[in-house]
Amino acid sequence: MSPAFEARSTAQFHPDFVKRLRRYVGKKTDSNADRDDIVQETLARIIARMSDGALAEAEHEPYAFRVASNLIVDGYRRGAKGFVGLSDTLVADTPGPDQITHAKRELESVQQVIQGMPKLRRQVFVLARVEGKSQAEISERLGISQKAIEKHITRALAELVKARREWQKDKSTSLTGGRNA
C-alpha cells in the first residue's frame, strides 16, 4: 500500500462534510451501528478511489452521498445486517457450487488482508466488525481514542475495498484469458 494511501484518513475530510454524511445516513437507517458502518464504508471507498486516481478530491462529496445511498439500498435489499460490502454470494440463501467456491476464495482474500494489517488496526477491526463491539467498548479495552478507532476502521475498510477491487480485476482477467472483455 502506498504511503499516500496510508496517510489518507477521515481527518482529511472536512468535519462538516462528515457530519452531513452521518446525518444523511442516520435519517435513512435504523441504528447508529448501521449508520457508522455505512459512513465508514463510504469513506473507505472514497479513499480507495482517490488513491487509485479514479476520483478527484473535488468530486468526493457527491460521490460519497451516491455511495452511501447505494449501500443503504443494498442493505435493505439484502434484509440482513452485517459487514457492508461483502458480495451477495456470501449472503445468498442457497448458493451453488460456483458461488461457494467464489465465496471461499473471497473469504481467504479478506483473511489475508486482515492478517497483513498492522496489529492495532487488526485488533480494532476485529473487535468492531467481527465481535460487534462499540467504539466506546474498544476505546476502553485498548486505551485509545474513539477518533483513533474510527481512523483504524476506515483504513482497514479501505484496504479491504482496494484488495477486493484488485482481486475482482484479476478474476476477470483470468476469465477472459488476459484479453479485454
For the chain, domain boundaries: 3-175
Report the pLDDT averaged over residues 121-135. Answer: 89
Q: Which grid cell is 47?
A: 479513499
Residue from 158, 124, 130, 128 nearest 144 by CA: 124
Share of the chain above pLDDT 70, in %: 75
Fill in the DSSP letter of residue 4.
H
Confidence of residue 172 (pLDDT cuts 50, 70, 90): low
3-class secondary-structure state, position 169: helix
User: Do 106 and 95 touch, CB atoms closer than 8 A?
Assistant: no
5 has pLDDT over 80 = no
Average pLDDT, the chain: 77
Q: Which grid cell is 152?
A: 483504524
Q: Which three-class secondary structure string do you get for 45-91? A: HHHHHHHHCCCCHHHHHHHHHHHHHHHHHHHHHHCCCCCCCCCHHHC
Confidence of residue 123 (pLDDT cuts 50, 70, 90): very high
Residue reference for cell 487509485: 52
Residue reference for cell 476469465: 175
Reported as a single tens digit per residue, the pLDDT across 73-115 is 877 666 644 444 444 444 445 667 777 777 788 778 888 899 9
pTM, full prediction: 0.49
